[in-house]
Amino acid sequence: MFETHFLHSIFNPKDFNKEELDQIISMFKRLEFRKNEYLLKEGRVADRYWFLQNGFLRSFVTDIRGKDTSTNFYCPGDIAIEWSSLFLKSSTRENIQALTDSVCWEIDLDSFKTLFHGIESFREQGRLTLAGSYFALKNHSIAMIADDARVRYLRLLKEKPLVIQNVPLKYIATYLGITDTSLSRIRKDIAKE
């Protein structure tokens, strides 16, 4: 049996009694994904989500010309989830892909529902996570309209420095809505300061 220490760090024992914590942890399954492997592909209905223990993931969409644009990055400790597909049971337009070899802890929707309806602290943690995800998405959408690329890059550097250090620049550029060349220029200007 694999060590579940990581899950214990995600679910604070102060928020759950021992029985609740044991029940929660028993519902997760440890999985390994190889670099470039998909956790979720466009057109599928999401029926699970993942806590990322090690590695880096990204979500992206593909436009009508076949070009992909990164919509989010996931670092160790993050939850990789496609909320609308999972809860509305609709086909996703997003892909979630491993950028590096990664270790995740997976929970399926039925197990999630059991925990959500049976453990108040789990339900509250889920609500806070959903709200945080919504606010991050909203802030990114507004930034894409209201902020210049340099400001967007600096915000990403501040909020997710591990992304800047570990994710290929071509994916970061699409997330910021700019070309690789523009991103290189921004990074070069910042380095001179």
For 24-39, give the secondary structure using H, E and C.
HHHCCEEEEECCCCEE
Per-residue pLDDT of the chain (193 residues; tens, 9 = 90+): 456 788 878 887 788 888 999 899 999 999 999 999 999 999 999 999 999 999 999 999 999 999 999 999 999 999 999 999 998 999 999 999 999 999 999 999 999 999 999 999 999 988 888 899 889 989 999 999 999 999 999 999 999 999 999 999 999 999 999 999 999 999 999 988 8
Burial 71-91 (b: 16+ CB within 10 A, else e): bbbbbeebbbbbbebbeeeee
Query: Hey, is 4 helix, strand or coil?
Result: coil
Taking a C-beta distance cutoff of 8 angstroms, is the pair 39, 108 a contact? no
Q: Are residues 38 and 119 in the same domain?
A: yes
Q: Are residues 136 and 167 in the same domain?
A: no
Domain that holds residue 18: 5-146
Domain count along the chain: 2
Q: Are residues 152 and 104 in the same domain?
A: no
- Sheet containing 48-54: which strands, arranged edge to edge? 29-33, 102-108, 48-54, 79-80
* 131, 7, 56, 191: CA torsion to nearest 10: 70
Unique residue bearing structure tokens 């990581």 = 6
